[in-house]
Homo-oligomer: A and B are copies of this chain.
Amino acid sequence: MPIQPRLYNGTRDLLPADMLPRERVLAEFRRAFQLYGFAPVETPAMEYLEILTGKYGDDEQLIYRLDYRNDDPARRLALRYDLTVPLARLVALHPELPLPFKRYQLQPVWRADRPQPHQGRYREFMQCDLDTVGTTSLSAEGEIVALCADLLGRLELPGFVIRLNHRRLLRAGVEWAGVDPALESAVCGAVDKLDKVGREGVLRELGARGVGEEEAGRVLDWISLPVDAGDPSALAQRLEGRADGLLALDELRELHAQALALGVPERHLKLDLTLARGLSYYTGPIFETVFPALPHMGSLMGGGRYDGLIGMFLGREIPAVGATLGLDRILTALAQLRPGEAAATPTRVLVSRCFTETEGEAQRLAGRLRGLGIPTELALEPGKLKKQLAYAAKKGIPWVLVLGPDEWAAGQVGLRDMRAGSQTAMPLTELLADPGRILA
């Protein structure tokens, strides 16, 4: 009795129709990262467990551990949970890397979380990170914001907005609202939910996290203040004598100016005090993309400065700025914006094999089309045209070439448009002169 084939809950097979757009988007990621001088690295899936523990708070229980030499605590292994701790480990092991070190990393991570496949939450997913390590310069933030704007533009996600805020402005807001500074992180967590739960929801969240009613109202008042990069006087007034807050506001305006200078159109940028970012480790400017065309999608990209994390294995602070791109969300957004059957094959044309007289010619024609850069399938089994057309239809191959012996002898080839269901004869020389256009 064969074993029942099945998948572990929360994981998935990615079939051709999933993978083809995925590879296209990842190629765009790599192109954009390299255009800005970010270099790829990869780290092993397996890390020593002790490298990963003590870094993720309560989420530590979501780390997958390996059942291999786990009788010796120092040799216990686990699967990587994110790409940030491995980056810190890599930086510590490779002091020869010149700083600032600009790296990107596109690798899966594993989390024993409750899966929600319909919301795109899986136990294995591709994490797409880029980070600049080793500089306190705001240019690092500016560059990453510009890169992400550039990339989202190239992906044709129209109208995205990159919201900019600063963690130390949020801290100033917590002070201004009269909230206990020890609750700063809790306030960030509550404010971060604004898009999902609305203003009333944030008030409830704040209450649940121990913020008094009046102070919670003032927090909402703080985040509701619009900020104009050109004239931030309203916010400056609220900040009054808070030197740290005023410095943070200056940094935020400088980041905005840098992004403009690097070519980001102003309509894609917005200073926004409601932006909090969920993670507690940010220490400076933070940013996050919203996509008004799909308001329930969540952020397609987000990040910020986190100066306290990368040096963890060296026992000293190493400044860093990073961003993470939501590959699955970006793919979902693209599919929703441009619906229609996703192609399940890279093949542009099927060279059919229905006639023994033109068998050899069919093989050579397939080779020539591939030589011209056209993804081409040669029917693997000779047989009736009907069967070969059915295969092309089932796979979504848009064009089929038919090499009838008489047409072929006259220098012609039959070109069938599978979407239109029509077939025309065409001189072979014409096809080979510009196959990219004809088989578009």
Contacts and interface: CB of A to CB of B under 8 A. Distances in A.
A272 interface: no
Interface in A17-45: 19-20, 22-23, 27, 30, 34-45
B20 A39 contact: yes
A364 B146 CA distance: 12
Nearest to A32: B370
Contacts of A368: 263
Nearest to A78: B67
Nearest to A1: B315
Contacts of A79: 45, 66
A20 B104 CA distance: 11
Contact of A315 (B2, B30, B35, B381): B2
A19 to B, nearest CB: 4
A349 to B, nearest CB: 9
Contacts of A139: 378-381
A252 to B, nearest CB: 17
B6 A93 contact: yes
A363 B262 contact: yes
A435 B346 CA distance: 33
Interface in A65-87: 65-68, 70, 77, 79
A137 to B, nearest CB: 5
A94 B48 CA distance: 36
A88 B2 CA distance: 12
A260 B111 CA distance: 49
A34 B13 CA distance: 19
Contacts of A394: 98
A140 interface: yes
A5 B364 contact: no
A110 B46 contact: yes
Nearest to A75: B8
B110 A45 contact: yes
**Most-contacted residue by chain B among A48, A51, A98 (CB, 10 A):** A98
A227 interface: no
A368 to B, nearest CB: 8
Given A3-B51, A139-B378, A381-B135, A41 B15 contact: yes
Contacts of A4: 313
A5 B89 CA distance: 6
Nearest to A367: B263
**Most-contacted residue by chain B among A20, A42, A139, A395 (CB, 10 A):** A42
A19 B41 contact: yes
A405 interface: no
A188 B64 CA distance: 40
A57 interface: no
Contacts of A34: 346, 375
A409 interface: no
A308 interface: no
Contacts of A373: 35
A68 B64 contact: yes
Contact of A263 (B27, B38, B364): B364
Contacts of A12: 44
A52 B211 CA distance: 52
A103 B375 CA distance: 14
Q: Which 3 A-B pairs have the closest CB atoms?
A: A16-B39, A11-B44, A37-B377
Interface of A: 1-8, 11-16, 19-20, 22-23, 27, 30, 34-48, 50-51, 64-68, 70, 77, 79, 88-90, 92-94, 97-98, 100, 102-103, 108, 110, 112, 123-124, 132, 135, 137, 139-140, 143, 146, 150, 258, 261-263, 312-315, 344-347, 360, 363-364, 366-368, 370-371, 373-381, 391, 394-395
Given A2-B314, A8-B48, 14 more contacts: A3-B313, A11-B45, A14-B43, A35-B376, A36-B377, A37-B347, A37-B375, A39-B346, A66-B79, A98-B391, A139-B378, A139-B380, A258-B363, A263-B370
